[in-house]
Amino acid sequence: MSHAKLPAPSAPPEGALRIFALGGLGEIGRNMTVFEFDGRLLIVDCGVLFPEENQPGVDLILPDFGPILDRLDDIEAVVLTHGHEDHIGALPYLLRERGDIHVLGSQLTLAFVGNKLREHRLSPEVQEVEDREKVQLGPFEVEFLAVNHSIPDAMALAIRTPAGVVLHTGDFKMDQLPLDGRITDLNSFARLGDAGVDLLLVDSTNAEVPGFVPSEADIVPVLDAVFLRAEGRIIVASFASHVHRIQQIIDMAELHGRKVAFVGRSMVRNMGTARDLGYLRIPGGMLVAADDLPSLPDDEAVLICPGSQGEPMAVLSRIANRDHPISVGPADTVILASSLIPGNENAVNRVINGLARLGAHVVHKANALVHVSGHAAAGELRYVYNVVKPRNVLPVHGEWRHMVANAEIARSVGVPADRVVLAEDGTVMDLVDGKLSVVGYLPVGFVYVDGAGIGDVTETSLKDRRVLGEEGFISVFVAVDVVDERIVAGPEIHARGFGAEEDLVGPLRDEVERALKAALADGLDDTHELQQRIRRAVGKWVNTTHRRRPMIVPVVVEA
């Protein structure tokens, strides 16, 4: 349900824990949740959302910092659950507003964050934490708990305040055979549950998927079979932070006598960081530079690159579009080793089709088990609910259908329906006397990053971009003498996006002349009104004749 029509909340009552999200509810990305107690703020995660096709020209989408911009000095810390972009990518933009915010996270998470901070020339206070470590941050005591995810060093958070205990799962699953042996700390979940958890914020991404997510170990025989069949080069596309999957590819390359090259700036940087910290094992002499690939036999090469989501400028998309020094042919195998993020379906399918057209054998999740999700399925969520026994539940991290499915799971295991809250970004909730209640709404929206601009792009300008890209553009220039009621120059018409422009310009010129002459005869002498007459005449004719709604820019000047 939408809470956008609720009024702004009043000040929280004494002893209440206030919670609101600035991103991450009803979407998979830009996760950022604010906890408030006694006037102090604790922020969990600060991530980005990647744009969809209907957001042309946008590079990133940030959480809306608006509700906290006048309270930056009240922030005790930003606590990061793990190092994926949808949880850390917006942190530099928040730190631009206040550069000394205390940032806490695990070793690998802070290493990935550190790469970003150096790019942005930021140097906040950072603190590395370990599993089961407790840190006091103003009125918040935060305990860090190990969870298994598709990136090492992921954490759940137990947040204690006088208002109660909150358990935030972060992104997690319950793989019993993880590559690094680090399983979700269910012992601590149970310990917290026995002591009493007042609120559980729980990952919803796979709430619609029945049962349990397959283990990472289940991928090994499938990858082995793909490597055995491959005659030429093997190109693997993955997230540049998916250390576990990349370790599997490296292990398989070692088994089959192949060498590995990282291609793409983010991949080279992140995997270098993971290797330096001991999270990635690469045998000596196995790693080669991308520039050395031409001298390596095709059947001895494995390339690992970003682009599994069809990102237009990523390495894999450029290969598929023949816009990269690396090319593929009939002997080559391409593996897309990641889940498909909702909204990227068309982009990924275009990449797959482009690679197939070039003759490559493309292996992806739809035709082989080359990836397993990092998010708990319904059976795992049910297990966690029974272990934690929360008094209140707030589904997070998912689209609306995922959060609704998660809420139903909570109710099915006995959580009272009035204790399961479905919220959207900006919904303000208070935990008072062990009960979570919606108390108001803070207006929030999307903040777009377009090149060097942050927040300059609006929904209106995006609509204009979509119109330009989909419907075309028509400009009309004309000079008039309003005294003599005549056209003295033009109409000069230019059109783009309509194919044969000459077939359009002649009829449009007649329409514009008729509309202008009628307007001048009616005594209209205001250039703005004359421009509106032109816009209506051109729009009506183009819509009737071509079934298009282009952007129309009329310019009328007085002679």
17-211+373-454 CATH pick, 1.10.357.10, 3.60.15.10, 3.40.50.2300, 3.90.1200.10? 3.60.15.10
- The class that CATH gives domain 216-363 is alpha beta
Q: How many angstroms separate the CA atoms of 92 and 449, rounded?
A: 12
Concatenated DSSP letters of 406-459? HHHHHHHTT--GGGB----TTEEEEEETTEEEEEEE-----EEEETTEES---H
What are the structure tokens assigned to 112, written together? 């990935």
CATH 3.60.15.10 segments of the chain? 17-211+373-454
**Is beta strand 134-137 parallel, antiparallel or unpaired with respect to 126-128?**
unpaired
Report which of 371, 88, 143, 101 is spatially closest to residue 246, judged by C-alpha positions: 371
Q: How many angstroms separate the CA atoms of 269 and 36, rounded?
A: 36
Q: How far is the first Cα of the chain from the last one, in angstroms, to the nearest whole number? A: 57
Q: What percent of the chain has pLDDT over 90?
A: 58
Which single residue is written with the structure tokens 């090994």? 220
Q: Is 395 left (phi over 0), alpha (psi -120 to 50) or beta?
A: beta
Report which of 220, 103, 240, 213 is spatially closest to residue 149, judged by C-alpha positions: 213
The whole-number average pLDDT for the span 197-207 is 97
Q: How many angstroms separate the CA atoms of 33 and 144, rounded?
A: 16
pTM: 0.81
Give Cα 446 distance to the centre of its chain: 12
> Which amino acid, residue 391?
R
Residue 446 banded pLDDT, cuts 50, 70, 90: confident
Residues 6+ apart with CB under 8 A from 468: 497, 551
- Does position 227 have pLDDT exceeding 90, yes or no? yes
The whole-number average pLDDT for the span 161-176 is 96
Question: What is the C-alpha radius of gyration for the chain, rounded to an integer number of angstroms?
Answer: 28
Q: 79-108: per-residue pLDDT in tens? A: 999 999 999 999 999 999 999 999 999 999
CATH 3.10.20.580 segments of the chain? 471-558
Across the strands, what pairs with 201?
A: 168, 394
CA dist 497 → 454, 493, 503, 557 (Å): 29, 14, 13, 26
Report which of 550, 530, 418 is spatially closest to residue 472, judged by C-alpha positions: 550
- CB atoms < 10 A from the CB of 557, how many? 13
Report which of 182, 189, 185 is spatially closest to residue 216, judged by C-alpha positions: 182
User: Which of 193-207, 229-243, 516-530 is predicted least confidently?
Assistant: 516-530
Q: 400-436: per-residue pLDDT in tens? A: 999 999 999 999 999 999 999 999 999 999 999 999 9
- Does position 471 have pLDDT exceeding 70, yes or no? no
The whole-number average pLDDT for the span 508-519 is 76
Which single residue is written with the structure tokens 């006397």? 433
Q: 339-389: per-residue pLDDT in tens? A: 767 667 778 888 889 999 999 999 988 787 888 889 999 999 999 999 999
Question: Helices H, strands E: what count in the chain?
Answer: 14, 27
The more confident residue out of 190 and 313 is 190
CA angle (219 as vertex; 216, 222 as ends), nearest 5: 175
CATH 3.40.50.10710 segments of the chain? 216-363
SS3 content of the chain, % helix, strand, coil (to 5): 35, 25, 40
- In terms of average pLDDT, the best of 133-137, 246-250, 278-282, 478-482 is 133-137
Q: Rounded to a whole number, what is the largest CA-CA distance in the chain?
A: 89
The CATH architecture that domain 471-558 belongs to is Roll (3.10)
Q: How many angstroms separate the CA atoms of 264 and 542, rounded?
A: 45
Contact 259, 288 (CB under 8 A): yes
